Homo-oligomer: A and B are copies of this chain.
Amino acid sequence: MSDRDFAQTLAKGLEVLACFEGGMPQLTLPEITRRSGLDRAVVRRLCLTLVRCGYLEEGEGGLRLAPRVLTLAGGFLGGLQVGRVVQPVLRHAAEELDMEVALATRDRLHAVYVDRAAPASARVTLGFGIGSALPLLHTAVGRMLLARSGPEVLDQALAARSPSPYTEATELDADRLRTAVETAREQGYAFARDEFELGAAGVAVPLGALGQVPFVLATTASVNAFDEPGRLERVLDVLRRSALAIGRLGAPR
């Protein structure tokens, strides 16, 4: 049955790996079986294979991801020149704004941090780092990514949006969400506050696309950081100049 050019076993194995996304520290065989919907025996054999290949390791009472997935991510980051060109620019912008600055892209229906920098003064961290996944609809990063993606992505995101709001300020109305994305496209930047995490606000600007998928540059801070008049303009200015710097040096595919 089905496609001659599609290796089912591989797809199922990747499905098993994907069960560990979203901050699951460790999973047991039955849990993976439930999450993936695969047969129990199949899951077991796939997990054994993944362990032998070094992608999973057995802890007490469960399996967890092995450092090997980091090496894979390192391949992605290295190919993008993240270490050499992106990181310095982000650091500089973070210091200049005294705010957290991140480079993000899209994976399916989530925004993903590709790299991140925080100013030296920051004593608290929000806990998001490389590989962290954020919702597309309710964050500045996400909306800017949607604004630069095809319309079908927005449709999918709206269709898949969770019915439970993150905070009391989370916008749930489809039309208003469409408008927010449209606004981001027209203005050339996105702004969001309180919708994903109360007390947090973000700004995002586009950076061009390194393939099919767009990249954006974003900053996050507590809401009151944007109260001061003219602050938003300054943030946008720094972000846009940083975006240019990265666009010029990096992405030399």
Chain A interface residues toward B at CB < 8 A: 4-14, 17-18, 20-26, 44-46, 48-50, 52-55, 57, 59-60, 64-80, 82-84, 87-88, 91, 95, 105-108, 110, 112-115, 118-120, 122-133, 211-213, 253
Contacts and interface: CB of A to CB of B under 8 A. Distances in A.
A14 B66 CA distance: 14
A113 B253 CA distance: 24
Contacts of A108: 54, 68
Q: Is the interface of A mostly helix, strand, loop or mixed?
A: mixed
A44 B7 CA distance: 10
B21 A71 contact: yes
B68 A133 contact: no
Closest 4 pairs between A and B when the two form their complex, measured CB to CB: A74-B131, A73-B73, A10-B13, A23-B78
Contacts of A126: 83
Contacts of A211: 57, 59, 64
A9 B9 contact: yes
